Structures are given as C-alpha cells and as structure tokens.
Amino acid sequence: MTDHRAWAEAEFGDADVGDARLAYRLVQMAARVAERPDGVVAQVFKEPAHRQGAYDLLGNGRVRSAELIASVANATTKRCADAEIVHLILDGTSLTLSDRARAKELGSIGSRKFPTRGIKFVNAYALDEKGAPLGLLHVEAWRRGPQNSAPRFIRRRDGQTEMAQRWCPAVETAVARLTNACPDALVWLVGDRECDDSRFLRLASQKGTFTVRAGQNRVIGPVRGRKRKLFSVARAGHSFGTRTIKIPATPNRVARKATIEIRAAKTKVLLPLGGDSRRRESLEVSVVHAREVGPVRGVRLEWILLTNAPIDRREQVDAVIASYRMRWRVEEFHRSWKAGGCDAEGTQLRSLEGIVKWATLLAAVATRAERLKYLSRTQPDASAADELSDVEIVALITAKRKIKSSVEQVPDGIPSLEVATRWIADLGGYAGNKRYKPGATSIMRGLESLAVWTDAVGTLLTPAEIKRRLR
C-alpha cells in the first residue's frame, strides 16, 4: 500500500477510458475518494471545480463502469501473484437507495410488494490462503426489471434466473481473469446457501475446487438399490473428531468459542437438468457436516458443506471448513462498503452507470481498509513498510506525536503493522476499547486524516530526509 495518489494509479491506472485526460481525472478522483471516502459526491469533493469534474466523469458515457471494474480486477490479480491458493468468495448483496419519486434508474429490492428500491450486486472477492483480502476480481451489477410471469420451471429451463444470467457469468469472468494472470494458483470457490444451485455446482466443479453450504436436502444417488437424502448421509458420515473454533459476533450473536463435531462422506447428488426435475444427472461431491456440541446459548451452529476437495485425511477436512469460514470476510467488506466508512448507500446519484462507477471507487477503498485491518490482526509483527509508503510512515509518526497522551512513547524508525494501524485508528477517533481492535471505519477515517499529514510531509521534506528519519 502506498500514498493515495500511487494507490489510485495502481487501482485505476489501467482503465481503458479512451482519453488520456479522462484517465488522469479518474486517477485523481480515485485518490480523493481514498482520502475522504463518503457516499455523497459533494462530501468528497468540496471545491466546486473538482465536484463538477467528478459529476462530469460519472455521467460521461465513454467512461464505462465495466472498465473501472476490469482495472480493479487487474490490480487484484497482481496481488494474487504470490498466492498458492486464492479463495474466491461469491456473494450477492444490494445497495438500497432513496427513490421516493421513482425517478432514478433503480429496481425493486427484496419482495416486490415492498417499496424498497436499489441495485443488486454479485461480488467476487479474493482472499489468499491465510484469509487476507486481495481485492475484487469482478462486480456484476444490475437493476431488476418487471416481474417475469412465466412459471419457475420455465424460467429455470430457459436460463432466465439470476443465477444463470448474473451469478454464473460472474464466476466465469472472475476465474478467467485469475487463471490468465496466475495460472499456477489453485482457485477455490466459496459460496453460501444461495449458491446451492444446480447450474452453479456444475460450473464450480469445472472451474476448480469449491465449497458451498448446502441449502437443499437433495436426493443422492442410489445406495443399495434405494435413494437417500443428502442431510441424513452427511450426519451419518465418517467421524473426524471435534475442533474448537472462534465464532465472530454478528448483530444477533455474541462472539464465542464453539466445539464442533465433524463428519464427512463421499456421495453423488442428483441435479435437475434445466427446469425439469424428472431429468437428473449425478455430480460426485463430498459432504462435510459440522455441528456444535455441548451447551449452547442461542442458535446451535450446524453447517452441511458440499465440496469437490479431497476429504481422506483430517487436515483435508479442516481445509474445507477453513475455506467456508473465510466467507465471512465478504460480509465485513460489504459492511464497510455499504455503511461503514464508505457509506455507498448514501449516494444521491440518479443513473445506473453513475451509481455503479461511484460504488466501484468506494469498493476499492473499502477493500484497502479491510486488508489493513486483517493484516494488523493476523500479522501484528510485520513491518508497516509492507503496507505503507515511507512518506506515510513519517507522516504517521509526526501526527501521532501531536495527539499522544503524556505517557505514550512514539519512537523513530518503522513501527510494526499492528502499532501503525492502531495509530491510524487513533487519528480516526478510535476510542481505545481494550475488548475491540480498530475496525475498518476508524481506519478509513484515520487514513483520511493521515492524507493531510502526508501531503505536508511530502512538501516539507526531501526523499533523502524521509529515509534518514526511518533509519
């Protein structure tokens, strides 16, 4: 990670917008969004000329959202270069936007009987083998049109479902980008219950390794002359003992340690062909069942996971469970992107293309903050120079000395990543609660304050003086 201008160049410098002036404006605009992320354009660009330039770019038909997404994906593939395994998390979400007059290019969200409107997204979010965020490999965005009155089986047969029209193309695009740039990396697709779809499972089995949480008690192939159901086979699988895992907190659940019992079995699920449930084909899968045991306060954890990864040994089964546990990273990204520091749902733009372009800029910023948050927690002793530039480190030390308490010590030299992240969060208003480490929102606010100090230090000090201070 470097200063905002260099970061913006790395993320959006490859966007093919057809004009050097537009390309320069896009990079400048992305740098300003990184300095001052917000869903409202006018809150990011205070100066009238810069604000008008941002509106002009967002409304320019030559600057397509697809090019911005492709540029972000290209930057992500570069970060994937050293990864042996890339976990590709597929998840759907939506931006719920204000549109009381129904004058914006939006569609219905959720049940059509509700007045909520917005834009739907499928995001392909890349993580390395340890779970560190690498970035977005694809973003599929659309607005829902009028309700299709055709029966469900007709829509499934003719490929008129969102899975066929949006999810599967998103998978193909993301995997193609990754394999072209990193042919030696293992692609591991991960999805929640909404990915338990026959089209998705067939496609995922062709594209690489996958882990999908089962959402349907499917019929499996005949065993001793009779058909059985998936869930009963999973619960009767071979025992691989118990594990203790950490369950993160959610709005409806407190964080806790859970002891889970693990079973696994190999089987064949019968997948319908098109919309005809009478015509089925079998797909070889393994099923991993993880169930919380012992006394539990609240809802007992239970996962039934479909995978094509090997499950012969204990460490292989553990890898399957670890891959699904990484899925929560995309939820954290969505929270930072949609609400948190970026507040993408606060946008007041009206056109579909403009909203998607603005949301893409904010998504790149949210990914940056999520990566810094994760690495500071899992690699606390790493050097801050791995993620921050020299001028940012000097600026951070200078800023921290201005706001430190009387008993704090801020030494010269390069701090650890954990310490640097804590100092950034302090600049962003982090309260210093011992129970909770800095989150993405306080980190983004701190980066906003750090940008001012970075500009000042870069103006007042020469590169040689900056390096001397870090010795």
> Is 421 strand, coil or helix?
helix
Average pLDDT, integer, range 138-164: 77
Q: Which two tokens stand for residue 347?
A: 């946008």
The pLDDT of residue 86 is above 60: yes
Question: Looking at residue 149, what is its pLDDT?
Answer: 64
The pLDDT of residue 251 is above 70: no
Sign, CA dihedral 19-24-25-26, equals positive
Lowest-confidence range among 119-133, 205-219, 267-281, 344-358? 267-281
Average pLDDT, integer, range 47-72: 95
User: Could you tell me if 450 and 392 are in contact, meaning their C-beta atoms sit under 8 angstroms apart?
Assistant: yes
The continuous run of DSSP H or E covering 470 comes out as none
Question: How many residues are listed for the chain in this entry?
Answer: 471
Give residue 415's identity as a one-letter amino acid code: P
How far apart are the C-alpha atoms of 99 and 61, rounded to whole Å? Answer: 23
Question: Looking at residue 195, what is its pLDDT?
Answer: 94
Question: Looking at residue 2, what is its pLDDT?
Answer: 43
Question: Looking at residue 440, what is its pLDDT?
Answer: 87
Helices (H), 162-300: 162, 168-181, 198-207, 230-235
Calculate the alpha carbon distances from 218 to 198, 282, 464 in Å. Answer: 10, 11, 65
Lowest-confidence range among 111-115, 142-146, 164-168, 232-236? 111-115
Place of tokens 């949006």: 166
Average pLDDT, integer, range 198-226: 88
The pLDDT of residue 49 is above 70: yes
How far apart are the C-alpha atoms of 198 and 161, rounded to whole Å? Answer: 12
In a domain, 384, yes or no: yes
Q: Bigger pLDDT: 75 or 162?
A: 75
User: DSSP assignment, residue 164?
Assistant: I
In a domain, 100, yes or no: no
β partners of residue 452: none
The continuous run of DSSP H or E covering 75 comes out as helix 65-79
Average pLDDT, integer, range 447-456: 88
Question: Looking at residue 1, what is its pLDDT?
Answer: 39
Average pLDDT, integer, range 145-163: 70
Question: Looking at residue 220, what is its pLDDT?
Answer: 87
387: domain CATH number is 1.10.740.10
User: Could you tell me if 238 and 263 are in contact, meaning their C-beta atoms sit under 8 angstroms apart?
Assistant: yes
pLDDT band at 151 (very low <50, low <70, confident <90, very high): low
Average pLDDT, integer, range 89-113: 91
The count of C-alpha atoms lying within 13 angstroms of the C-alpha of 277, restricted to the half-sphere facing its C-beta, is 5
- Nearest residue to 241 (alpha-carbon basis) of 305, 318, 174, 172: 318
Average pLDDT, integer, range 77-90: 95
Tens digit of pLDDT for each residue in 17-40? Answer: 888 999 999 999 999 999 889 999
DSSP state string for 14-65: T---S-HHHHHHHHHHHHHHHHS--SSHHHH--SHHHHHHHHHHHH-TTS-H
How far apart are the C-alpha atoms of 125 and 138, rounded to whole Å? Answer: 8
The count of C-alpha atoms lying within 13 angstroms of the C-alpha of 260, restricted to the half-sphere facing its C-beta, is 25
Question: Looking at residue 274, what is its pLDDT?
Answer: 67
The pLDDT of residue 378 is above 80: yes
Question: Looking at residue 434, what is its pLDDT?
Answer: 67
The pLDDT of residue 66 is above 50: yes
User: Could you tell me if 71 and 13 are in contact, meaning their C-beta atoms sit under 8 angstroms apart?
Assistant: yes
- Nearest residue to 457 (alpha-carbon basis) of 377, 415, 411, 402: 402
In a domain, 159, yes or no: no
> Is 153 strand, coil or helix?
helix
Pick the most confident of 18-22, 288-292, 428-432.
Answer: 288-292
- Nearest residue to 269 (alpha-carbon basis) of 225, 234, 316: 234
Sign, CA dihedral 61-352-79-384, equals positive
> What are the backbone dihedrals phi and psi of residue 35, each rounded to the nearest 5 degrees, phi first?
-70, -35
The pLDDT of residue 263 is above 50: yes
> What are the backbone dihedrals phi and psi of residue 304, each rounded to the nearest 5 degrees, phi first?
-120, 110
The b-or-e profile of 149-159 (16+ CB within 10 A means b, else e) is eeeeeebbbee
Q: Bigger pLDDT: 3 or 63?
A: 63
In a domain, 186, yes or no: no
In a domain, 73, yes or no: no
Lowest-confidence range among 22-36, 147-161, 360-374, 456-470? 147-161
- Nearest-Å Rg of the Cα atoms of the chain is 24
Average pLDDT, integer, range 433-461: 85
Question: Looking at residue 27, what is its pLDDT?
Answer: 95
The pLDDT of residue 225 is above 70: no
The pLDDT of residue 432 is above 80: no
Average pLDDT, integer, range 344-369: 95
* Count of the separate structural domains present in the chain: 1
In a domain, 165, yes or no: no
Lowest-confidence range among 146-150, 184-188, 454-458? 146-150
In a domain, 463, yes or no: yes
User: DSSP assignment, residue 148?
Assistant: P
Lowest-confidence range among 319-328, 427-436, 442-451? 427-436
Question: Looking at residue 12, what is its pLDDT?
Answer: 96
Place of tokens 């997204």: 121
Lowest-confidence range among 79-83, 276-280, 290-294, 400-404? 276-280
Average pLDDT over the chain, rounded to whole?
90
Residue 436 domain boundaries: 379-469
Calculate the alpha carbon distances from 69 to 64, 87, 191, 281 in Å. Answer: 9, 19, 21, 36
How far apart are the C-alpha atoms of 84 and 358, rounded to whole Å? Answer: 32
Question: Looking at residue 30, what is its pLDDT?
Answer: 95
Lowest-confidence range among 181-195, 288-302, 323-337? 288-302
The pLDDT of residue 278 is above 90: no
Question: Looking at residue 467, what is its pLDDT?
Answer: 87
Question: Looking at residue 399, what is its pLDDT?
Answer: 92
Residue 411: which residues within 8 A CB-CB, separation 6 or more? none
Question: Looking at residue 340, what is its pLDDT?
Answer: 80
